[in-house]
Amino acid sequence: MPALPEPGTGSAHVSLVDRVEELLAADGPLPIVAAGDPVLRHTTAPYDGELGPALLARFVAALRLTMRAAPGVGLAAPQVGVPLRIAVIEDPAPVPPEMALVRGRVPQPFRVLVNPSYAPLGAERIAFFEGCLSVPGWQAVVARPTEVRLTGLDETGNAVDEVFRGWPARIVQHETDHLDGVLYLDRAEPRSLASNEAVAERWSQPTPRTAAEALGFPLPPGPVTG
Ligand code: ZN
């Protein structure tokens, strides 16, 4: 008869620690899980100290490295096969001034989101093409709340309660959705689906208005549709 596990060292915890240790055994960016893997479709468990501070720090560093190498502006733990409610975001916003203005794409410093949740502030929604490292090669237009309130913790356990607007609001919604088993495609306009090449060649305008007319998908009413 097996001994009862010690508190905090149950088999689920041990296997999670083993999984992360195994991932971190190799140097360099972590492999990114692609759509079709069930880990991307399950709600993650809130992080409750399972990894301990040292392993958490190493895991966060690996997420950051992987996000930067991709490159991407966010990465959620399930995207590297770890079902924990942890994500990282960072966006240097290397876009032309007009696009930055229309999209509200201001630089977003590196952040760790632990157990994040968001709630829309107001009814305004705004639509843009967006992509996902777990759906390589494709982009689609997603209408999202322009402004959200994000609550949760940072990597040191301090409470976060912050309002995000513009592109950073889009990033925190996209990454938090990952932690609920939601992919951006679930919220996208299906007829907007476009290859990276098509977006680069045809739909690199600051807004998706031209794409909406040509491909036949709706956009939300709003101040920025031109
Ligand atoms: Zn994604």
Whether domain 11-215 has CATH 3.90.45.10: yes
Kindly tell me if the per-residue pLDDT of 225 is higher than 50: no
- Centre of ligand 1 to C-alpha 46, Å, is 19
Task: Note the pLDDT tens digit of each residue in 30-72.
Answer: 999 999 999 999 999 999 999 999 999 999 999 999 999 999 9
Nearest to 162 by CA among 113, 128, 125, 127: 113
Instruction: State how far the Cα of 104 lies from the Cα of 106, in Å rounded to an integer.
Output: 6
pTM of the model: 0.92
Over residues 75-129, the pLDDT tens digits come to 999 999 999 999 999 999 989 999 899 999 999 999 999 999 999 999 999 999 9
Q: What is the C-alpha separation between 196 and 183, in angstroms, rounded? A: 17
CA of 173 to the centre of ligand 1 (A): 10
Instruction: Indicate if the pLDDT at residue 5 is higher than 90.
Output: no
Give the Å distance between the CA of 209 and the centre of ligand 1: 23
The span from the CA of 109 to the CA of 19, in Å, is: 28
Which residue reads 């924990």 in tokens?
84
Catalytic residues: 175
Please tell me the distance between residue 213's alpha carbon and the centre of ligand 1 in angstroms.
Answer: 26
In the chain, where the domains are located = 11-215
